[in-house]
């Protein structure tokens, strides 16, 4: 049992629902002091009450909001040991219809927002002596593609390019940074894509189920432990085997 996150100060961005909420729940159960963020204050209040954690409203695509988040958590909880940079959006737009504003919105939230959150927390993570950053990327972009998500996939692949160089820069300060690549996870956001999408994805997963938010939370928790301290700049795919079949026939009869 990994116990080393007990008492540590953890920020999870985009945690009023979905994967972020699942990550926050796993860290809270492990005894960490968790602060969740998002833009919708009402949703944050409800989730924080449910999980027994703190909250701070912040749009992570805004560097000033990220700075305010980091300063507030340091003031309230004495520091930041772990940042789970999870906030993200996945609107669909084919290349034929995508506008510059669509592209800027997705990159600004998913990629720039990840960088801003990490930058804002850096001094506190360094002061922690065992700083940890866990980025929520995706299989979509780094490994797979899906029509309508060229901008989304690019933003998720961009996070990995960032992680690899950040890992080198942050190593001397004792900070590790890694990424979790979820497959299809049953979140409010994903279920909002409709029954046809859900059924198609379930059929494409060798384990024949969507992932749970706890599946991602547990991977993030491991990367945040002292025991994972020699792992940095790496990725863990958590997808029930979805990226493995070479063709649809590989799943027939299993």
- At 58, is the secondary structure helix, strand, or coil? coil
CA–CA separation, 83 vs 6, rounded Å?
A: 15
What is the end-to-end Cα distance of the chain in Å, rounded? Answer: 33
Total of residues contacting ligand NAP (CB under 6 A): 32
User: Which residues lie across from 154 on neighbouring strands?
Assistant: none
Contact stretch for ligand NAP (CB under 6 A) within 92-100, 168-176, 188-196, 225-233:
188-196
Q: Is 159 in the site for ligand NAP (CB under 6 A)?
A: no
The yes-or-no answer on residue 152 being catalytic is yes
- In the 8-state DSSP scheme, what is residue 154? H
Tell which one of 89, 103, 115, 193 touches ligand NAP (CB under 6 A). 89
* Closer by beta carbon to ligand NAP, 4 or else 12: 12
Query: Are the C-beta atoms of residues 177 and 135 closer than 8 Å to each other?
Result: yes
- At closest approach, how far in Å is the CB of 173 from ligand NAP? 25
Residues in contact with 226: Cβ distance below 8 Å, sequence separation at least 6, in sequence order: 4, 130
Tell which one of 9, 35, 109, 242 touches ligand NAP (CB under 6 A). 109
Q: Which two tokens stand for residue 113?
A: 């927002």
Tell which one of 141, 182, 217, 240 touches ligand NAP (CB under 6 A). 182
Tell which one of 23, 38, 122, 128 touches ligand NAP (CB under 6 A). 38
* Closer by beta carbon to ligand NAP, 4 or else 118: 118
Q: Is 9 in the site for ligand NAP (CB under 6 A)?
A: no
Query: Are the C-beta atoms of residues 44 and 16 closer than 8 Å to each other?
Result: yes
Residues in contact with 57: Cβ distance below 8 Å, sequence separation at least 6, in sequence order: 37, 38, 39, 40, 41, 44
Cite the active site residues: 152
Residues that bind ligand NAP (CB under 6 A): 13-20, 37-40, 43, 59-61, 86-90, 109, 113, 136, 138, 182, 184-185, 187-190
């Amino acid at each position: 049992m990994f116990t080393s996150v007990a008492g540590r100060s953890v920020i999870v961005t985009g945690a009023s629902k979905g994967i972020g909420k699942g990550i926050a729940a796993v860290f809270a159960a492990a005894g960490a002091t968790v602060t969740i963020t998002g833009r919708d204050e009402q949703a944050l209040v409800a989730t924080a009450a449910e999980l027994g954690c703190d909250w701070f409203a912040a749009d992570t695509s805004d560097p000033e909001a990220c700075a305010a988040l980091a300063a507030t958590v340091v003031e309230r909880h004495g520091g930041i040991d772990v940042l789970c940079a999870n906030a993200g959006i996945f609107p669909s737009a084919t290349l034929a219809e995508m506008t510059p504003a669509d592209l800027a919105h997705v990159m600004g939230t998913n990629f720039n927002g990840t960088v801003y959150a990490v930058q804002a927390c850096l001094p506190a993570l360094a002061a922690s002596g065992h700083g940890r950053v866990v980025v929520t990327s995706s299989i979509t972009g780094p490994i797979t593609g899906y029509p309508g998500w060229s901008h989304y996939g690019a933003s998720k692949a961009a996070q990995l390019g960032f992680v690899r160089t950040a890992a080198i820069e942050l190593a001397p300060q004792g900070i590790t940074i890694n990424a979790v690549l979820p497959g299809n996870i049953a979140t409010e956001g994903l279920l909002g894509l409709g029954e046809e999408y859900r059924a198609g994805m379930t059929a494409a997963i060798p384990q024949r189920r969507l992932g749970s938010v706890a599946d991602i939370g547990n991977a993030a928790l491991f990367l945040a432990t002292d025991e994972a301290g020699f792992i940095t700049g790496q990725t863990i795919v958590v997808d029930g085997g979805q990226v493995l079949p070479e063709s649809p026939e590989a799943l027939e009869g299993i």
